[in-house]
Structure 1
């Protein structure tokens, strides 16, 4: 559907066109200005003290001082080069916005301004050298350190040019654009050959974007022969779908961010191929991989609020990422009409604009239909009826009961390579109002906290041994059962530490989750069970919480140097159950966490770095520490007004294999058998 038709059909489209006019108003009074310098690497646009992304104003014409949200002022490289990346990308985005307003009938001046951006880049691009300061591992670009960044930027410029042409605009100096896009084609082709053939990495997410950029060039040049070769050839669109996406429909690196990243590139390529009558929206990989299947994975990963978990590398959240989500999911929603897309879109727009209504460029370009307000109840009701899902190849389990209070995400699969974390048997927990125990995401790669904290086991909701992070490895799914009484998952890891076996048993019902984690080692060790939450507060007998005996949890050299103990729970007479209240970052309904504390164990409440979008905004960590050759961590999560009670003669004993747990009106017996796993019966 063309933009002009949307304005006639949807009220939201007309409102968004007005919004974009206001955004571009400060720029339209002058000729477009682009940087004469090439950009560097965006990941270095981060404060070295607070590890937070630096502030960026897209309307600032030039910058020599770069501020972090906490007031730090930085100068010179690498911040200048990283700022230039943001600036070049914003110039391309403004060109696309102006083209969209021309298509919306707002006047030729928008087309002329958009065309002016393209022509200035056409003049400047040949002057950029193949980047001499790019790091050795990078595929080098001209306008940026990386050919990957160049491909993404190029697709935005090319889509702007195509939109203008589609609306009948004629470029005055088309020969300059011909040279520009010919150079881009040559650069993208060389990078693709180097990556896919010489380096032997055709499955890389880079390949998807090099393909998308080339597809845009071929569409602009009306070159059907090259487009068909790109679709069907080695490392082409269909081949990449087979090798870059797992049979369970998750991008092969097992990271939510790169899943969105690759699907967005696929949709751009499909849009270009459709100009030649080639339908890639229905394409299938050799194991059934499809764009629609990838979209379904996103819908299943999202919590009830519509937030996506930051599995492995990827930002917790930032505005550019939310734009990528909005674009990808809007295209998917328009093509496949999946109700599960709506909560994701609402959350993306809520984060960008403060309201869960359509807004901004992505909505105007790609949005179709209307899910506000009439369709809201139907869409959200359908989304809440989702059940559990196993992503077996990627190694993730989503535990969810239709209409249930809690849901969980457990990670046992492949490490994820350069984008993986030391997080096997990690547990993410969501309530109805957002994350209660989230994935923290990943800071920009230029931050030292990337490997020192956010990739380490201690920043995840799993077990760490002897103050060390886990080894990179793959865990094992022993059992997955999803029936009327609940969802049961049994996970195992034997390679996280030498001579160590870790097992996690999860049992989810409509009202509560039981988490039973067992560690067995060949020799005595300190075994730490971690649970991170936006806010944790003692929920029962606060007098049992005392100042911590030690402010340091290790020698101060490893990940624990970022942890500050706040309080320590000391078991009183007859006390063996510690309860705290977990709250979501967005507020609303929380959960009660109740854990058994065997004699000799220590439970500490600590302050830890916050989610990766703002590490300096601390959050809470709960550390349950045991020492020996074995440890058993038994924890129940439930409605915050109903903390679990544990009973039974062995309930608090080290190595216990049987407990009774109860809430008002219900009581259960749980037994853990080494061969049969966890079994529950109501009593």
Structure 2
């Protein structure tokens, strides 16, 4: 299909979407400002509430499990979605007009723009906003306002590009809107950059994007150039808000996409003045190309991005954002690795053929195909992530040893994600909307991640390090030695990950300076483990949650039912996980005297925490612990402890496959 034919097909699909909304009478602008979208979450099930695009108005809000929720906070959050929908419809209608030339869609887009411009001065500087927020008019947060405004102004510019004329009264209203918006965005930039000394904040990227749109709409090239070059501007933010290895400084995939999208909007506006920001690099080589390539390398084999630190595991608005940047990454930079990322985003949206506004605005049919060769292992030394991949082994791993991540970080150092082309087996389960108390009581805590905790307490916010990273020259193995000394006082944790073409070895060693404690190794599979004997246990696991800056006595508790004890056979526990039809991953744990292996019922993932999952807890009450686990696809492997620092791994039925591995002080794991 030619580009023209594909665009025409997509435009007709988008036109039908608009027609349905018009028929439902849902394209009227609310006179009330929006609140904070993160409060649109069920207080009972902690799932995001349902938003119906065709709904005209709402005062009660549906949970996917049947709850009916009422309250001003939920109403305010619903209004955020409504305002964002209407801005998107304005842009979508402008795009349909640009593609098909049907004037009624230009009129619709223009009506929405002018009505918002007239209403904007009537919204108050939001009195209901929380104290920490930079306040908006149309929303609690100026951040939400900045994002919303870029969509409206892009619609306005697209209409102007296609010859649509605004009369004197209409243009005067838009000029007032642009003036008020510019004033607040400039004020908040000053607060963030100069008063709070927080120019690297992801907020700044969006204030810049909004102002870039304002300056483009007004034709103010000098103002845009000053914004690009000045403190906290495009080039400066790229240098301080992104690590030299191309990852957003908070270590969050979601906020990486979030900031990158703002950068791309600023670049789109600059291009209107003949200024090319697409090739700009930061002080240490940071670039939009590099940020896009990082996402292509980070995605699993299906194209899904991991939910590192704060961010949703999957969510339709997020999928649209991913689609927007992936379309541009393919069209502008030709990054073939983004093709599966884009396909997965559209799959989540139920638009396998790319029948989306993002495809119409940014897409091209001249997309490079993803390379046939498997992706290599990769270390991000500044962001603190490592991926291990070996040709011939369907298993791969992703581990996190980097900075805590500030307000968007998790207490998850040395977390391990285990991936397979069929499914990711042990993902980071993401983050619920911030209005849910489970944000802090579970999803950010150490025990919800695939790492080690002590005594039911979470790690301190800290940064680990990569002691050694080595990909073998023959391509048959990759090794990462990750270390943490800041998680708990007097505690040293070393995680050794060795991936070969046969299996993955995870040797997690914990040593305390003094005293025995409950040392707890966690694994959270996304699938119910298949197991043999399960001993009944009348016991719960207690997660102790200390609020930031709270006194030692201010500790909340979350009690998790222990389903039972996992019974090993001849010193080994054998588990398996069915990831799909004819796809099984086998898990072998070395069980030594004094070890407990337990099945623990935990909340579900961040999409639906009310659907419980079963975690594996391997714990030992001691001053030192070695947690030795092996994973293999399709058939199991066995582990024998030869000595304190030496093991042997064999594959049943393949005696020639025996591998003897030693843990040394200087080199870590070595084959002997």
**Cα displacement (A) at 1:555:** 7.9
Name whichever of 482-491 and 262-271 sits farther off: 482-491
* 8 Å Cα contact 1:570-1:602 kept in structure 2: no
Partner of 1:265: 262
* 8 Å Cα contact 1:425-1:492 kept in structure 2: yes
Partner of 1:552: 540
Choose the corresponding residue for 1:68, options 43, 58, 63: 63
Name whichever of 164-173 and 277-286 sits farther off: 164-173
* Counterparts in 2 of 1:247 and 1:124: CA distance versus 1, 3 Å: same
Q: Could you give the per-residue CA deviations for residues 416-465 of structure 1, whole angstroms, max 9, x where no partner exists?
A: 00000000110011101121110110111111100110000000000011
Q: Could you give the per-residue CA deviations for residues 599-621 of structure 1, whole angstroms, max 9, x where no partner exists?
A: 12111122211211111122221
1:54 counterpart = 2:58: no
CA distance in 2, matches of 1:61, 1:601: 59
**Cα displacement (A) at 1:231:** 1.0
Partner of 1:497: 488
Q: Could you give the per-residue CA deviations for residues 142-167 of structure 1, whole angstroms, max 9, x where no partner exists?
A: 11111100000000000011111111
* 8 Å Cα contact 1:533-1:621 kept in structure 2: yes
* 8 Å Cα contact 2:27-2:56 kept in structure 1: no
The SS at the match of 1:226 is: helix
Matches within 5 A, 1:206-217: 206-217=203-214
CA distance in 2, matches of 1:537, 1:31: 46
CA distance in 1, matches of 2:284, 2:220: 30
**Cα displacement (A) at 1:401:** 2.0
1:458 counterpart = 2:454: no
Partner of 1:538: 530
Partner of 1:369: 365
Partner of 2:283: 286
The SS at the match of 1:533 is: coil
* Counterparts in 2 of 1:649 and 1:291: CA distance versus 1, 3 Å: closer
* 8 Å Cα contact 2:566-2:573 kept in structure 1: yes
* Counterparts in 2 of 1:583 and 1:388: CA distance versus 1, 3 Å: same
Partner of 2:595: 601
**Cα displacement (A) at 1:560:** 7.4
1:420 counterpart = 2:409: yes
Matches within 5 A, 1:31-110: 32-110=27-105
CA distance in 2, matches of 1:465, 1:555: 10
The SS at the match of 2:441 is: helix
1:399 counterpart = 2:393: no
The SS at the match of 1:254 is: coil
Name whichever of 60-69 and 355-364 sits farther off: 355-364
* Counterparts in 2 of 1:515 and 1:31: CA distance versus 1, 3 Å: closer
Q: Could you give the per-residue CA deviations for residues 318-348 of structure 1, whole angstroms, max 9, x where no partner exists?
A: 0000000000111111111111000000100
CA distance in 1, matches of 2:240, 2:544: 43
* 8 Å Cα contact 1:437-1:534 kept in structure 2: yes
Taking only aligned residues, the RMSD between alpha carbons, in angstroms, comes to: 1.8
**Cα displacement (A) at 1:556:** 8.3
**Cα displacement (A) at 1:370:** 4.6
Structure 1 gap segments, 5+ residues each: 1-6, 651-655
Name whichever of 13-22 and 217-226 sits farther off: 13-22
1:356 counterpart = 2:352: yes
**Cα displacement (A) at 1:367:** 0.8
CA distance in 2, matches of 1:264, 1:174: 28
Partner of 2:177: 180
Partner of 2:12: 18
Question: When the two structures are superposed, what TM-score results if normalisation uses the length of structure 2?
Answer: 0.94
CA distance in 2, matches of 1:93, 1:590: 43
* Counterparts in 2 of 1:534 and 1:93: CA distance versus 1, 3 Å: same
The SS at the match of 2:215 is: helix
Matches within 5 A, 1:505-654: 505-521=496-512, 522-539=514-531, 542=532, 544-547=533-536, 549-554=537-542, 561=558, 563-572=560-569, 575-584=570-579, 589-639=583-633, 641-650=634-643
1:662 counterpart = 2:662: no
Partner of 1:443: 432
* Counterparts in 2 of 1:513 and 1:31: CA distance versus 1, 3 Å: closer
CA distance in 2, matches of 1:332, 1:265: 14
Structure 2 gap segments, 5+ residues each: 546-554
Q: Could you give the per-residue CA deviations for residues 630-656 of structure 1, whole angstroms, max 9, x where no partner exists?
A: 1100000111x3111122544xxxxx3
Partner of 2:550: none
Name whichever of 247-256 and 502-511 sits farther off: 502-511
**Cα displacement (A) at 1:124:** 0.7
* 8 Å Cα contact 2:8-2:100 kept in structure 1: no
CA distance in 2, matches of 1:24, 1:367: 20
* 8 Å Cα contact 1:43-1:446 kept in structure 2: yes
* 8 Å Cα contact 1:436-1:590 kept in structure 2: no
**Cα displacement (A) at 1:407:** 1.1
Partner of 2:330: 333
**Cα displacement (A) at 1:562:** 5.3
* Counterparts in 2 of 1:403 and 1:352: CA distance versus 1, 3 Å: farther
The SS at the match of 1:561 is: strand
**Cα displacement (A) at 1:403:** 4.9
CA distance in 2, matches of 1:609, 1:325: 27
**Cα displacement (A) at 1:133:** 1.2
Name whichever of 357-366 and 278-287 sits farther off: 357-366
Name whichever of 126-135 and 586-595 sits farther off: 586-595
CA distance in 2, matches of 1:31, 1:312: 36
Aligned length: 654
**Cα displacement (A) at 1:528:** 0.8
* Counterparts in 2 of 1:31 and 1:175: CA distance versus 1, 3 Å: farther
Question: When the two structures are superposed, what TM-score results if normalisation uses the length of structure 1?
Answer: 0.93
1:480 counterpart = 2:480: no
* 8 Å Cα contact 2:238-2:282 kept in structure 1: yes
CA distance in 2, matches of 1:648, 1:105: 70
**Cα displacement (A) at 1:380:** 5.2
**Cα displacement (A) at 1:8:** 6.0
Partner of 1:653: none
* 8 Å Cα contact 1:12-1:358 kept in structure 2: no
* 8 Å Cα contact 1:24-1:98 kept in structure 2: yes
The SS at the match of 1:213 is: helix
The SS at the match of 1:590 is: strand
Choose the corresponding residue for 1:386, options 359, 369, 375: 375
CA distance in 1, matches of 2:320, 2:559: 32
